[in-house]
Amino acid sequence: MAVSVAAHSAPKNREMFAIKKSYSIENGYPSRRRSLVDDARFESSVVKQTKQAVLEEARLKANDEKELDIPNGENSENEEEEQPEVDEQEYYVEDSEMTEEEMILQNAAAVSEEAANELIKAALVVRLRDGMGALGRILKAVETFKGTVIHLESRQSREKNIQFDVLIKIEMARSSLLQLCRSLRQSMSFGGMTVLAENNVNVKAPWFPKHASELDGCNHLMTKYEPDLDMNHPGFADKEYRARRKLIAEVAFAYKYGDPIPVIEYTETENKTWGSVFKVVKDLVPKHACKEYIQVFKKLEEEKIFTPERIPQLQEMNDFLRKNTGFTLRPAAGLLTSRDFLASLAFRVFQSTQYVRHGNSPMHTPEPDYIHEMLGHMPLLGDASFAQFSQEIGLASLGASDEEIEKLSTVYWFTVEFGLCKEENQVKAYGAGLLSAYGELLHAVSDKPEHRPFDPEKTAVQPYQDQEYQPIYFVAESFEDAKEKFRRWVSSMSRPFEVRYNPHTERVEILDSVEKLEALVSQLNTEMLHLTNAIEKLRKPLL
C-alpha cells in the first residue's frame, strides 16, 4: 500500500529540528513578560540554524558514502543491472548541493530496509533548460530505477532561462526515488527540481498533526521551568515554589491523548492567589469586557466552576467547553513553541498550563499561568463565534512557513491576547492578556494608546512592545467581521493546499483531490437540505 513520502521520516525530522535552545538563556530574558511573537521569531531563527547544520552534516555523510561507492571497473554481483547514464565528471563532483528534500528522503529510507524498499507515490516538478528533448532522459531514468509513471504534464516556465516545467507523478521504492533525485539534479540539462508527496505537499514542508492524538508530539517548550532561568522571576529564590512548578510540569509532560486530565490539588496559598485576582477581574468585567466574555463568565459562575474560594480543575473546565463549543483542554508544561500551540487550536484543543503564579506577585506573571488561562482564555473559548475564530487561526498555521507562523503569531497576539472590539460605540476588551491583567486593561481602553481598525495584513507586521504597555491596539468591529477579514487574508498565504477539520474523526483533512471535494460537497448539500427544511417549517403558520 502506497504511503506519503514523509510518513516514516516525520517523527525523525521533527526530533532533528526540535527547539533545543532556551529563549531565556539565549536572550538574557530582558522583557517584562513572555511574548508569543518573540518566541515565533526565535523559533524560526533556531530552526533555520539547525536545518543548515543538519544539511551540511548530511551532505558530508553523502560524500563520504559516495567515495566508498565510486565504481572502479571491477565486476560485481549487480553488474548486469542497468544504471542511469551520468556524466563521469559529474559523478566525482563533491555533493555539496544535496537538497533538503533528498535529506528527508534519505532519513526516511534509513529507518529500516523495509522503509527503503517500500513503494511510495510522489510527484517531481523538473525544470528543463533546453526544451522537451530532455524529457526522454527523465523517463529513461525513471524506468532504470524501476519506477512507474502515473501522470505526466508540462507547461511553459515563468522562470528565467527555464523553458518548461514538467510534473511527473510516479510510483517507486523510496530508496530508488532518492537515487533518481540525485541523478536528475546532477545533470546540467535541468534547472531545478522539487519533490512533492502524494498529497501535493512539498516533502520539506513543516510537519503538522493530522489527528488529535498526534498533538502528543506538539509539546515542545521554548523553556521548561521559567523560575529556574530568570533571576527576575518572582519565584526564582523560592526553592519550594520551583519544586512545585517542576512537579506540575512533569505531570503535563506525562499526559497522552485519551488519558484523563490529571487533578492538581492546589494549596491554600495558590487558592488565595486565585481569589485575589478573581475578585479584581470580576469587578472590572462589567465595565470593560465584551458582552460575549461577560455572558460566559456568568454561566461559569452559575455552574459553580468560577468561585473565589477555589481554583477550578482543568477537567471541569474541559467538560464545560466541550458541551458549549466543542473545545477541549490538555495540560501543558509551559509556554509551547508557536507552531505547536497554534496547531492545537486547529483541533479545537487548547493547551493549558496548570501551575499558578507566585503568591508574592498575584497581579503580574511574566509567563502564562493557570490563572491567566482560566480568567483570560476560558470564558471566550466558551463563545461559539470566538471559538471558531481561534480554530481558524490554528488551521491556517498547519503547513505554514516559518515566516507565516511569525505573522500568524503576531495576529494571535494582537487579537486573542490583546484584542479590543467595538460595542455600542464603546471599546471593550476580549484579549486574554488584558482581561487577566487589570493594569494593561485600564491602559488599553483609555485614550492613551492608539486604536487602529483590525486589518490582518497590517496587524501581522506590527512590532510588539514587550517592555511597556502597547502603544497600539487593534479594534475589531465584531468577531464575525474579524473572522471574515482573517479568512480573506489567509487565502493569500503561500500554502498550496487547503485543510478542514472533521470533528467526527478528530482529523484534519487535506483537500487535495476531486474525490475529497465531492465528499465535502455532499456533506454540505445535506446540511443545506436540513437548513432549507428548517426555514420552510418556520414559515408555516402555527396550528
What amino acid positions are annotated as catalytic residues?
372, 377, 417, 436
DSSP assignment letter at 124: E
DSSP secondary structure letters along 329-350: EEE-SSPBPHHHHHHHHHTTEE
372 is in an annotated binding site: yes
User: What whole-number distance in Å separates Cα of residue 359 and Cα of residue 347?
Assistant: 34
530 is in an annotated binding site: no
Cell readout for 302 is 452559575
Q: What are the strands of the beta sheet with 472-476, ordered from one edge?
A: 426-429, 420-423, 472-476, 450-453
User: What whole-number distance in Å separates Cα of residue 58 and Cα of residue 443?
Assistant: 52
Closest of 191, 374, 178, 181 to residue 275, by C-alpha: 374
Q: How many CA atoms lie within 13 A of 377 on its CB side?
A: 27
Phi, psi of 499 (to 5 degrees): -130, 160
With residue 251 as reference, give the H or E element that holds it: helix 239-254
Closest of 469, 456, 476, 379 to residue 410, by C-alpha: 456
DSSP secondary structure letters along 446-465: SSSSEEEE--HHHHTT----
118 is in an annotated binding site: no
Cell readout for 217 is 508530539
Which residues are annotated as part of the binding site for Fe cation? Answer: 372, 377, 417
